[in-house]
Amino acid sequence: MKVLLGGEYSRLHNSLKEGLARHGVEAHILATGDAFKRYPADFSVRPRYLTRPAWRWLRQGFHRMTGKDLAAWETAYYLHKFEKYAPSYDILQWINPYPFETPLRFEKKFMKKMMQKAGKTFLLACGDDARVNDYYLKNPEPYNIFTPFRENPALKKYFRYSLKYLKPAFRQWQQELESMISGIIPTDLDYAVPYRGHPKALPMIPNPVNTDKIVYHWPSMEKGIIIFHGINSGNYWRKGNAFFTRALEIIREKYKDKVQIIETRDLAYEAYIRHLSRAHIVLDQIYAWDQGYNALEAMAMGKVVFTGAEDVFREYYGLTEEVNINALPDVDDLAGKLSELIENPRRLENISRAARRFIEREHHYEEIAGRYLEAWKKTANV
């Protein structure tokens, strides 16, 4: 079996590829690397020239005049070259209805040609798309990624990326794409809920995490407890980073000699992981019910992660121990939970060990890859 994994935003497809290899399955990743994150890909379509400083004036000027990004056309050129010489694949899986962010007209044409060559095609529900975003705009309770926008419409420009999926052209493309694929696979509860009842939706398959590559690491606390807050500027409001920043101001003042606080912005993946490995506590995101990929990798390392951990998550996995901390959009609540952990190092260590056990039990990359293989084989062609 040959598998092509289209798009990469979090290392989900890289871990899946590694799990498939353990089953003797050949898989390739076609992706841009997701801008500054630079995730690995077997076939990279990342713009190499028009993102260089020397071309910045041309790119910015063209964008001001047309609203379009020249770098997207460079990616389109690489995709065209790939499609021209690409072999056929037994399984093609898109991470998103718009995985490469080229001009939509081109992206549709490219994806259709690739699907014509594939045995079966699947779509993941693991981020922005028309159905997920529409659901959360219409169902605001208790909170979700659009909560900041609903509370303050002046933030609209920070939600431009997500809102574009609700434009008629993107809605129409998603409907067309869904009619052509064999199934839709949600990767966590935040995405499984919006797809309930959809005729193409398959059972949720949790994100794969390569626990052979990710080593459990609990740093010494002799020099204090280290708290890491890695900010992605593009998702600043969606992730609730403002609440974390304000809570950290309280903690910094309250525990001057007991904590070290690391805050970073827009790090490449490798640099992000280096900072992450030093920490005891990781502040991930607010507006979620379940964990995204960064949180899972941190938990695999044994970090105590503030992230989505609502009742629906605990009930789904039948949890009887604390594996992470449910982060709410409340500065005092966050500061209070951080204070409790700082003052109870033993609890920190207990959660750390439980987090690693949870990832090994529920997200092991080889087992998750097996579940994908089963889903792909069982699902009939369109």
Residue 153 gets which letter from DSSP? G
Q: What pTM was computed for the model? A: 0.93
Question: What is the CATH number that goes with domain 2-208+365-378?
Answer: 3.40.50
DSSP strand E in 238-338: where?
259-265, 281-283, 304-307, 325-326
Host H or E run for residue 315: helix 311-317
> Does residue 142 have a cis peptide bond before it, meaning omega lies within 30 degrees of 0?
yes
Q: Nearest-5° angle of CA 236, CA 237, CA 241?
A: 60
- State the pLDDT at residue 285: 96
Angstrom distance (rounded) from CA 250 to CA 287? 21
Answer whether 15's CB lies under 8 Å from 210's CB.
Answer: yes
Q: Which two tokens stand for residue 80?
A: 């065209």
Q: How do the domains of the chain map onto residue ranges?
A: 2-208+365-378, 225-362
Q: Are strands 183-186 and 120-125 parallel, antiparallel or unpaired?
A: parallel
- State the pLDDT at residue 380: 76
- State the pLDDT at residue 286: 96
Angstrom distance (rounded) from CA 161 to CA 167? 11
| Cα 114 to chain centroid, rounded | 24
Answer whether 341's CB lies under 8 Å from 298's CB.
Answer: no
Fold classified for 225-362: Rossmann fold (3.40.50)
Which residues of the chain have a pLDDT value below 70?
A: 36, 49-52, 54-55, 57-68, 70, 382
Would you call 357 exposed, middle or buried from its count of C-beta atoms within 10 A (0-12, 13-18, 19+)?
middle
- State the pLDDT at residue 382: 61
The answer to whether the 2-208+365-378 and 225-362 domains have the same CATH topology is: yes
- The DSSP string of 97-112 is SSSS-S-HHHHHHHHH
- State the pLDDT at residue 325: 98
Long-range contacts of 185-188 (CB under 8 A, 24+ apart): 185/93, 185/122, 185/123, 185/124, 185/125, 185/372, 185/375, 186/124, 186/125, 186/126, 187/12, 187/124, 187/125, 187/126, 188/126, 188/290, 188/291, 188/292
- State the pLDDT at residue 49: 58
Long-range contacts of 274-279 (CB under 8 A, 24+ apart): 275/228, 275/230, 276/228, 276/230, 276/301, 276/303, 277/217, 277/219, 277/301, 278/219, 278/226, 278/228, 279/219, 279/226, 279/227, 279/228, 279/303
- State the pLDDT at residue 29: 97
